[in-house]
């Protein structure tokens, strides 16, 4: 009995530590350098002219709907930034290609559809803005 109680305490301690480590990574913005662009036909929707949040979700993901609401709000703050939500369970091809391991995972695309940043897990509002800042500012044209 005693050894099982001790094993239980060790199990719960390890799970709690694992959880803290995992949550610490939640939403962290990582800069990405990935050759090639994602096109409208791959994404199944029209990307933004300046930047795009591509959010991978599943129907089984509790944090996905609030993340979509947050990203839509952050995207609406700036012109020509859009939000596309993709069901990773339906688009397993894309999920494999882009190494989507958990949902929500959000990629940030620049004006050309090139992935410049990603957030694995639900981001905070600050993290969403930080990710969007990875997109270089629009070039000034003079005629």
Partner 1 sequence: MSTEAKDIQIDPRGYRFGASVTLVVSIVALVLGANTAGIVAMGVLALLFLPGATIGPQATLQSWLFRRFIRPRIGAPAETESFRPPRFAQQMGLGFSLLAVLFGVLEIALGFYIFTGFVVAASFLNSVFGFCLGCEIYLLAKRATTRAA
Q: Report the site for partner 1 in 5-34 (rule: CB under 8 A).
A: 5, 7-8, 11-12, 15-16, 19, 23
What values do phi and psi take at 131, rounded to 5? -65, -40
- Shortest gap between Cβ of 92 and partner 1 (angstroms)? 6
**CB atoms inside a 10 Å sphere around CB 20:** 9
Q: Candidates 25, 30, 80, 96: give the one binding partner 1 (CB under 8 A).
A: 96
Determine contact, residues 58/111, Cβ cutoff 8 Å. no
| Segment contacting partner 1 by CB under 8 A, of 37-45, 52-60, 110-118, 127-135 | 52-60
| Segment contacting partner 1 by CB under 8 A, of 45-53, 72-80, 91-99, 110-118 | 91-99
Q: Do the bridges between strand 51-57 and strand 105-109 make them parallel or antiparallel, or are there none, so unpaired?
A: antiparallel
Q: How many residues bind partner 1 (CB under 8 A)?
A: 29
Nearer to partner 1 by C-beta: 19 or 112? 19
**Segment holding 81, helix H or strand E:** strand 81-87
* SS3 assignment, position 115: strand
Q: Do the bridges between strand 115-120 and strand 29-31 make them parallel or antiparallel, or are there none, so unpaired?
A: antiparallel
Residue 116 lies near partner 1 (rule: CB under 8 A): no
* Angle CA 59–65–69, to nearest 5: 155
Q: Candidates 33, 77, 93, 140: give the one binding partner 1 (CB under 8 A).
A: 93
Which residues of the chain form contacts with partner 1 (CB under 8 A)? 1, 4-5, 7-8, 11-12, 15-16, 19, 23, 58-62, 65, 87-90, 92-93, 95-96, 100-103
């Amino acid at each position: 009995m005693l050894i099982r109680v001790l094993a239980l305490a060790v199990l719960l301690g390890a799970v709690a530590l694992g959880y803290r480590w995992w949550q610490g990574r939640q939403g962290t913005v990582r800069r990405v350098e990935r050759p090639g662009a994602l096109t409208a036909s791959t994404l199944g929707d029209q990307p933004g002219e300046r930047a795009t949040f591509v959010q991978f979700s599943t129907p089984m993901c509790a944090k996905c709907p609030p993340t979509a609401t947050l990203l839509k709000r952050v995207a609406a703050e700036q012109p020509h930034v859009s939000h596309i939500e993709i069901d990773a369970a339906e688009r397993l091809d894309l999920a494999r290609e882009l190494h989507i391991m958990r949902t929500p995972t959000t990629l940030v695309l620049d004006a050309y559809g090139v992935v410049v940043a990603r957030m694995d897990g639900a981001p905070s509002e600050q993290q969403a803005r930080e990710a969007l800042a990875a997109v270089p500012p629009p070039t000034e044209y003079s005629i």
